Structure 1
Amino acid sequence: MATGTTSSTESADSSPARRGVHTQGRAAIPNRHLRTDRWWVPPLMTALGLGAFVVYSTWRAFANGNYYAAPYVSPFYSPCLASNCTDMNGGADWHLFGSWWGISPALIVLIFPLGFRLTCYYYRKAYYRGFWASPPACAVAEPHATYTGETRFPLILQNIHRYFFYFAIPVAGILTYDVVLSFRDADGNWGHAGLGTLVMLVNITLIWAYTFSCHSCRHIIGGRLKHFSKHPVRFRLWGWVGRLNRHHMLLAWVSLISVALADFYVYLVASGAFDDPRFF
């Protein structure tokens, strides 16, 4: 009887159904999960939110127009590095890459902020769950038979997140410069501000908060220190970044929304949908 029992167990363990999270050594739970709440709502909302941004940003990146309304420039197109950029009246119009066959300059610029966000630890969790169901939620088995993590191409490229962080800093700095330029009127005179100035100011504040709340930033500041007492300044900075890091998910979402709203605002003004209200 012992032999028969062993044979039956081996046969069950080697069946196609016992793969992935159902391999030998895992709890033999026949149900996919034991959760009774609406666990599928968060990944669904995440997929819808990220999907909406992808659709909008793709449309705007390929539009190649209505991205400058003096003195505002869309964050999707700044810095404008192609020679087919609109004259930005003293703004960041550098013509670094020539005409690039007339492609939208946003396709050059967005490589760096999108690379930073795509490899972000929070965004990985978000789209892994929302689009790939890997896993769809806590305590819910993923439908994939095997799991290799981020050890193979293309997901191994996620490990370059820290390098995209280095690019994110100058990009945020250039957007900050654009905010400074937004305190001018259409003729380039200083001491003016409009609704667009406020929109861009809020956007860059959220972008800096999201950038500094990054896990890579926290590690760079104090992650490798063994004696905080010998580095009081870095310890204090590490504490500030740590407090921001607690809100990294929230900052990831609100900064994503704000950058889209800032671009949309510039688009409305540039397309003539309405005039930018001036405060002073």
Structure 2
Amino acid sequence: MASTDSTQTGGGRAHIPRRTLRTDRWWVGPLLTTLGLATFVVYATLRVFQQDHYWVPEYHYLTPFYSPCVAQQCAPEAALFGRLPVEFPPLVPYALVSLPILLLFRLTCYYYRKAYYRSIWLSPPACAVREPHRAYTGETRPLMRLQNGHRYFFYAAALISLVNTWDMLIAFFHGTGGGFGVGLGNIIMLVNVVMLWTYTLSCHSCRHVFGGRLRSFGTHPVRYWMWSRISTLNNRHMLYAWLSLATLMITDAYIALIASGTIEDLRILN
């Protein structure tokens, strides 16, 4: 006997007119994901185009949203790798080199793809929930083929992580009086760098770099050791993806508050 929610047609699959028969709050996950991604995108966009309060010369704090600072308008001390000889138009980010790379790295990340496919594009929004699209095209359309470049964006993002690491390290040697010092800003920057590396190294592409295209792990013990450690990190890639977004905003907000004179850095040593 067919239920009121489905009818049997021609011995094939049951036709279910409802979007889903689930009774739990399946929409909470996609909603929270959308809100989380939107919060970061809005905050990062406002800060990138603010083009101010990004640099604390007393302690050499440079926010990761402006690193490396390459615009002619950058403070000379903040441009550790030099400045381009032309001034950027108002809506061009000071960190023109790094931001597109990091955006493409995260946009094509396997986890983030799953996150925004389900929560924003609703393809599908949840298990056993019908998606609103009439046809499924996967990643076959021209623009979607950009996703295949994730492995290359990984290499570039690793270089940017090295730049962020250098920013963090050099700040320890710009305490009060120019010597070694530790402030709350140093600790926040350190935590942020750790989370950026954890997210980057737990990437599926990084795992493939060390363990892909091998016929036998037995003849490559070092690569196997690296692959197994990265695989352990990869199990929590989703967690690191969200934590790294949080530490990026916290680091930027803290440096911006100090640079604007709203608060003073809490000094621990020197």
Q: TM-score, normalised by structure 1?
A: 0.87
Number of corresponding residues: 259
Pairing 1:95–2:77 present: no
Aligned residue type for 1:62: F
Aligned residue type for 1:39: W
Pairing 1:33–2:20 present: yes
Pairing 1:151–2:140 present: yes
Asked if 1 retains the 8 angstrom alpha-carbon contact of 2:175 and 2:182, the reply is: no
Aligned residue type for 1:34: L
1:59 alignment partner in structure 2? 46
Aligned residue type for 1:224: R
Unaligned runs of 5+ in 2: 1-8
1:110 alignment partner in structure 2? 99
Unaligned runs of 5+ in 1: 1-8, 11-23
Residue from 259, 262, 265 that aligns with 2:248:
259
Aligned residue type for 1:76: F
Larger radius of gyration: 1
Asked if 2 retains the 8 angstrom alpha-carbon contact of 1:221 and 1:234, the reply is: yes
Aligned residue type for 1:176: T
Q: How does 1:4-83 map to 2 (within 5 A)?
A: 27-70=14-57, 71-83=60-72
- What displacement does 1:32 show? 1.8
Asked if 1 retains the 8 angstrom alpha-carbon contact of 2:71 and 2:86, the reply is: yes
For 1:42 and 1:25, locate their aligned partners in 2 and report how far apart those are by CA, in whole Å. Answer: 32
2:236 alignment partner in structure 1? 247
Asked if 2 retains the 8 angstrom alpha-carbon contact of 1:83 and 1:98, the reply is: yes
Structure 2 vs 1, CA of residues 173 and 115 (structure 1 numbering), >3 Å: closer, same or farther?
same
- What displacement does 1:211 show? 0.2
Task: Summarize deviations over 1:162-206 as a string: whole Å, max 9, x none.
Answer: 110011111000000011011033567232010000000000000
Aligned residue type for 2:134: A
Task: Summarize deviations over 1:126-175 as a string: whole Å, max 9, x none.
Answer: 11111111111111111100110001022111111111001111100000
Structure 2 vs 1, CA of residues 114 and 83 (structure 1 numbering), >3 Å: closer, same or farther?
same
- What displacement does 1:87 show? 2.6
1:143 is paired with a residue whose SS is coil
For 2:99 and 2:12, locate their aligned partners in 1 and report how far apart those are by CA, in whole Å. Answer: 45
Asked if 2 retains the 8 angstrom alpha-carbon contact of 1:43 and 1:136, the reply is: yes
For 2:158 and 2:168, locate their aligned partners in 1 and report how far apart those are by CA, in whole Å. Answer: 15
Asked if 2 retains the 8 angstrom alpha-carbon contact of 1:206 and 1:258, the reply is: yes
Asked if 2 retains the 8 angstrom alpha-carbon contact of 1:87 and 1:93, the reply is: no
For 2:47 and 2:70, locate their aligned partners in 1 and report how far apart those are by CA, in whole Å. Answer: 17
For 1:104 and 1:123, locate their aligned partners in 2 and report how far apart those are by CA, in whole Å. Answer: 23
* Cα root mean square deviation, aligned: 2.0
Asked if 1 retains the 8 angstrom alpha-carbon contact of 2:108 and 2:147, the reply is: yes
Aligned residue type for 1:163: Y
Pairing 1:271–2:260 present: yes
2:29 is paired with a residue whose SS is helix
Structure 2 vs 1, CA of residues 97 and 120 (structure 1 numbering), >3 Å: closer, same or farther?
farther
For 2:49 and 2:95, locate their aligned partners in 1 and report how far apart those are by CA, in whole Å. Answer: 8
